């Protein structure tokens, strides 16, 4: 038995008899071994989802040919991920740096298996953070009105393309992105929102939570879609607050939750543990 990291197969298709057996037989028939497997069937939408870790002396060309046949037979959508290549991650932030700094630290410590290829920001205050970690810094400036906003959005889109990122993490990047950008990065852009969605989407959620007198605040990491703060949710966490907490207390407590929630979501994505359907996620944690 090999001790190397396994390859990961993810798949989804309409639920029907024989899928699990067919995939398992294909793995065994091409010399592979199932090191770990998890699956879920969504009864409401009749969708089957599975994540399998595969090791052993498998013949990958034959395996891929077999998967092509299963795709035709079951209407299968699949992705195969081999170990050894670190994902290229672009981190974007604005003036608040706690989430970006946490991600860079975790990558540096080896907690996240990724290569940060750039820190992109609309604020120069983020430049020293990038320098401390030896990460290229890209400043994308522009106003909020008319052509200046369009120029800033074009600069942001161009920066992401130039960095050739596999994943973009919006670590408190406080700009509303236009649909062409969100569409181009569908399933490859994660945002952290400082609220337990669907409560308090949009701006100033801690202020609105304080006004509402909530007893829990939280953070939500989700894939970005054209609809603001409404993409498929990957990870959420909460922390208790009381009537004694002022807005500054909510912000302080919330920052800790934001850091851990975003790191959780990035790790789950990098490990290919998240499958999306119908604006929902199946997370094989």
Q: pLDDT tens digit string along 15-56?
A: 999 999 999 999 999 999 999 999 999 999 999 999 999 999
Find the domain containing 124 and state its range: 86-185
Q: Please identify every residue annotated as catalytic.
A: 229
* Average pLDDT of every residue of the chain: 93
Between 248 and 170, where is the model more confident?
170
Q: What is the pLDDT of residue 1?
A: 41
Alpha-carbon distances, residue 26 vs 33, 50, 64, 217, 265 (angstroms) = 10, 15, 10, 47, 31
Of 138, 160, 185, the residue that ends a domain is 185
Among 185, 217, 252, the domain-final residue is 185
Mean pLDDT of 85-112: 97
150 or 62, which is more confident:
62
Highest mean pLDDT among 28-37, 136-145, 210-219: 28-37
pLDDT of residue 100: 98
Determine how many CB atoms are found less than 10 A away from the CB of residue 166: 17
In a domain, 162, yes or no: yes
- Domains held by the chain: number: 3
pLDDT at 65: 97
| Torsion-angle region of 270 (φ positive above 0: left; ψ -120 to 50: alpha; else: beta) | alpha
End residue of a domain, out of 136, 170, 185: 185
pTM surpassing 0.85? yes
When pLDDT is averaged across residues 68-84 and rounded to a whole number, the result is: 96
Q: Is the domain of 192 the same as that of 241?
A: yes
- State the first-to-last Cα distance of the chain, in angstroms, to the nearest integer: 24
CA distance 281 to 276: 4
200 and 176, same structural domain? no
Gap between the Cα atoms of 173 and 121, Å rounded: 7
Residues 179 and 245 in one domain: no
Query: Could you give the C-alpha distances from 258 to 52, 106, 138, 270, in angstroms and in order?
Result: 30, 14, 23, 18
Any idea what the CATH number is for the domain that residue 90 is in?
3.40.50.170
Same domain, 235 and 221: yes
């Amino acid at each position: 038995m090999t001790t190397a990291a396994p390859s990961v197969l993810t798949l989804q298709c309409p639920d029907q008899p024989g899928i699990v057996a067919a995939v398992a037989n294909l793995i065994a028939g091409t010399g592979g071994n199932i090191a770990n497997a998890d699956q879920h069937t969504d009864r409401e939408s009749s969708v089957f989802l599975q994540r399998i870790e595969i090791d052993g002396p498998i013949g990958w060309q034959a395996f891929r040919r077999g998967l092509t046949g299963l795709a035709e037979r079951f209407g299968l959508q699949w992705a195969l991920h081999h170990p050894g290549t670190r994902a290229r991650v672009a981190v974007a932030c604005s003036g608040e740096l706690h989430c970006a700094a946490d991600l860079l630290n975790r990558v540096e410590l080896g907690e996240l298996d990724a290569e940060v290829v750039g820190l992109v920001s609309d604020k120069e205050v983020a430049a020293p953070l990038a320098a401390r970690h030896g990460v290229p810094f890209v400043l994308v400036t522009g106003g909020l009105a008319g052509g200046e906003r369009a120029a800033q959005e074009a600069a942001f889109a161009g920066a992401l393309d130039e960095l050739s990122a596999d994943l973009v993490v919006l670590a408190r990047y406080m700009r509303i992105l236009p649909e062409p950008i969100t569409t181009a990065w569908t399933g490859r852009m994660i945002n952290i929102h400082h609220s337990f969605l669907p409560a308090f989407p949009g701006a100033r959620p801690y202020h609105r939570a304080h006004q509402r007198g909530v007893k829990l605040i939280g953070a939500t990491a989700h894939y970005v879609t054209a609809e603001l703060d409404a993409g498929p949710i990957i990870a959420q966490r909460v922390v208790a607050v009381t009537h004694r907490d002022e807005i500054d207390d909510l912000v302080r407590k919330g920052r800790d939750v934001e850091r851990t929630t975003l790191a959780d979501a990035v790790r789950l994505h990098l490990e290919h543990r998240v499958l999306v359907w119908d604006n929902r996620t199946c997370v094989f944690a």
